[in-house]
Amino acid sequence: RAKERGGNRYEVADPDADARAITRHGLTNQLPSALRHGEFFVEYQPLIGLEDGAVLGAEALVRWLHPVHGVLGPDQFIPLAESTGQIVPLGRWVLQQAAQQARDWHDLQFTGPAPRINVNLSPVQLSHPDLVAEVVAVLEETRLQPSALCLEVTESALIGADEDALKPLRRIADLGVAIALDDFGTGYSNLSSLRWLPVSVLKLDRSFTRGMRQHPADPVEMKIVEGIVSLAHTLNLTVTVEGVETRTQAEHLRALGCDTAQGWYYGKAGPADQLHTLTLADAS
Ligand code: C2E
Ligand code: MG
Ligand code: MG
Ligand code: MG
């Protein structure tokens, strides 16, 4: 490999790198059977309305209970699944699970208004020709109203996408499904693209709120978030903030007019029934 880069350069062998490569390779090969054997599971992180602290729904986050390595987080296998295309059946499975879970919540009516379910979409799924049909099928199978579903796509998946590439997303949005721009602010976002992207929710990355852990908050950070919220609201977008870890952050974000929040302060991702026990009092 060092040779491929040409010249007289050589690299010192890194035994850990080999071990990592083998593990990666192994995991990649195991993805298809893991899905067949039911080794994946979905956890749910509550989504909170900042105004009154109500639980509005949850984001579905996939995990892999690996027979040897234990529980693996998405960062450890989603990139692998994307590189082989396995993300397509895996992502479809997560969508089915999450939509069915939302259906069950609706049947329980655990907090009045129908809880929303957010599901992450990989760019690979976005460019797959069956995506729209799959979303339609899942909505029909689960009898979930489209407005209870929100699909999260990252900025980087949409940056540079032309009108053709956006067509499936537009059709999904036309069904009444919400589309969220995930990890907003971590990529090279063109703020003016918000005008024409079929997006109705901005999810602010948690890097924006680090300086809000204390009173007084970092004034520049406050101004930046204030500006984003004002722009988003002008464009009729809802603002969700990720990674809220302290009460102080929650207070600042509420004062800045952010609409919804997610983070360890309210609850980590966990089994579906943890949402049943979250009450208004817990969340505020
Ligand atoms: P994301 O969509 O931005 O999800 C939020 C991540 O932040 C989750 O990590 C969540 O556990 C973590 N988080 C939530 N609250 C806090 C907090 O207060 N503090 C901190 N430090 N972290 C917090 P997780 O579960 O490891 O997921 C990582 C990423 O993997 C997700 O980022 C998402 O992009 C991706 N992902 C998860 N599930 C799926 C899936 O089903 N399909 C696809 N394509 N991607 C997924
Ligand atoms: Mg997300
Ligand atoms: Mg995110
Ligand atoms: Mg993030």
Q: How many CA atoms lie less than 13 Å away from 206 in the CB half-sphere?
A: 13
> Residue 114 to residues 34, 104, 111, 145, 194: CA-CA distances in angstroms?
32, 10, 7, 9, 27
Atom number in ligand 1 closest to CA 74: 30
Backbone angle region of 41, left / alpha / beta, with phi > 0 → left and psi within -120 to 50 → alpha: beta
Which residue, 133, 116, 113, is CA-closest to 125? 133
Average pLDDT in the 91-111 region? 89
Cβ count within 10 A of residue 128: 18
Per-residue pLDDT at 278: 66
Other CB atoms within 10 A of residue 16 CB: 8
Closest CA to 155 of 214, 226, 228, 254: 228
Report the number of secondary-structure helices (H) and strands (E) in the chain.
Answer: 11, 9
Summarised one tens digit per residue, pLDDT across range 46-99 is 999 999 999 999 999 999 999 999 999 999 999 999 999 999 999 999 999 999
- 155 ligand 1 Cβ < 6 A: no
Ligand 1, pocket-test mutation among 120, 121, 205, 212, most atoms within 8 A of CB: 120
pTM: 0.91
CA angle 193, 205, 100 (to 5 degrees): 90
Q: Give the separation between CA 46 and CA 94, rounded to whole angstroms.
A: 17
Our answer on whether the CB atom of 75 is closer than 6 Å to any ligand 1 atom is yes
> Is the CB–ligand 1 distance for residue 120 below 6 Å?
yes
For the CA of 94, the nearest ligand: 1
Q: Classify the complex by whether its ipTM is higher than 0.85, answering yes or no.
A: yes
The answer to whether the CB of 151 is under 6 A from ligand 1 is: no
Looking at every residue in the chain, the average pLDDT score rounds to 89
Q: How far, in Å, CA of 250 to CA of 213, rounded?
A: 9
Q: Is 91 in the pocket of ligand 1 (CB under 6 A)?
A: yes
For the ranges 131-140, 172-181, 185-194, the lowest mean pLDDT is seen at 185-194
Distance CA 152, CA 119 (A): 6
88 lines ligand 1 (CB under 6 A): no
For 163-182, b/e burial (b = at least 16 CB within 10 A) is: eeebebbebbbeeebbbbbb
